[in-house]
Amino acid sequence: MKAADRTESVTFAIGDVVIPARKLQQEGAEIMWLNLGDPDKFDFDTPVHIKEAAMKAMNTYNGYMDSEGLPALREAVASREKRKNGISASEEDILITNGTSEAIQMIYGALLNPGDEILIPGPAYPPYMSLARFFDAVPVPYRTLEEENWSPDIDDMRSRLSDRTKAILLISPNNPTGALYSRKHVEAIAGLAAEHDIVVVSDEIYDTMTFEEQHYSPLRAEDVPVIAINGMSKAYLSTGWRVGWAIFKDYNGNLSEIKDACLKQLRLRISANTVMQEAGVAALHGPQDHIKKVAQKLKERRDFMYKRMNEISGMTAEKPMGAFYIFPKVDCEDDKKFVLDVLENTHVLFVHGSGFGSYGKGHFRSIFLPPIETLEKAMNAVEKYMKGR
């Protein structure tokens, strides 16, 4: 039986490279997994008070929740945004989703008709491209400048706007490049969106994971509608719990129909995970001490990887300013072949850059989540391979 055509466009490079790695593992190889952005797989754990809240919730109520989300969590997200970005969001401006991933799907479903365009960073987290095609819409990548720490090229962005453009997407800190967009860039992007009467969609899932400077959100812009998405996966080290949310900051009533269209989709899937939403309330209202510690630990690992990558002849890397990814350029004909050759010869698994769109060609993505000893072992093996190839 043939699957529907729309699924042909669905690819996910981060998962694709796992297949050959599993095969090697079955043959007895010890794989160093530097492909997947999951802190819980390494020495990062969900803070104890949040786990306790989940256990308590499980002993209290296990039924469906309102489709728009647990009121206490929506209120907690609104007050986080007030604290962080100074915006006066209320419970009604927040929708709770099963992970940020569901929020992306819901927003695309609400915004994009066939043939509509969305500007996305080049390179970008792959679902932003796959899902656009799934909805018969067109992901249009805008250039980001590697030599300027992968910051957005505003002129290029402007040149890609058309009368089919529905939204501009920002991912800051960025996956896969680790770029952190400056206030100046964020304001310029918000200005472009305002000029063209379109929405800014802002993926802020790594907003607590920054090393030198703080994250600056387009939610602060005054005269443009913004939908920001975030969640518990990274900031609260609970990727498997699947709790995310979207924050709707309206301007001139432009977002009310879009928000209703989002909610219609949420009603179809009944509810997000009730128990984990209760844990989300504890996460957002409780102590936040782990956030600084996590950022510090990541900074040390970032420094290590940045130094080692740039010491290897044949590769150069920009310094990631946030998240836990580094995206080096490498001398090679074909970046996927390079990643597979590295895997075969060193048992270190990266992700090929072209999996993040055409701007990722000639690069690869590594995480820097593991402890330095593991990163060192991996980088020694990669260095030896690069010298000998």
Ligand X SMILES: Cc1ncc(COP(=O)(O)O)c(C=O)c1O
| Binding-site ranges for ligand X (CB under 6 A) | 37, 99-101, 125, 171, 175, 203, 205, 231, 233, 239, 244
- Taken as a whole, the chain contains a residue count of 389
Cis peptide bond N-terminal to 218, omega within 30: no
Tokens describing residue 279: 């844990």
Residue type, 340: L
Nearest to 229 by CA among 189, 187, 199: 199
Say if residue 70 is exposed, middle or buried (CB neighbours under 10 Å; 0-12, 13-18, 19+). Answer: buried
Contact present, 13 and 351 (Cβ < 8 Å)? yes
Residue 373's CB is within 10 A of a number of other CB atoms, namely 8
Bridge partners of 119? 140, 168
What is the C-alpha separation between 210 and 246, in angstroms, rounded? 21
Q: Which of 73, 72, 126 is nearest to 104 (CA)?
A: 126
How many C-beta atoms lie closer than 10 Å to residue 297's C-beta? 18
Could you tell me the smallest distance in angstroms from the CB atom of residue 121 to ligand X? 10
As a whole number of angstroms, the distance between CA 162 and CA 197 comes to: 12
The answer for residues whose C-beta is within 8 angstroms of residue 354's C-beta and 6 or more apart is 13, 335, 336, 360, 361
Cis peptide before 173 (omega within 30 of 0): yes
Residue 140 phi, psi (nearest 5): -115, 110
To which residue do tokens 């980001």 refer? 144
Q: Give which of 167, 169, 180 is closest to 208, Cα–Cα.
A: 180
Residue closer to ligand X (CB basis): 368 or 383: 368
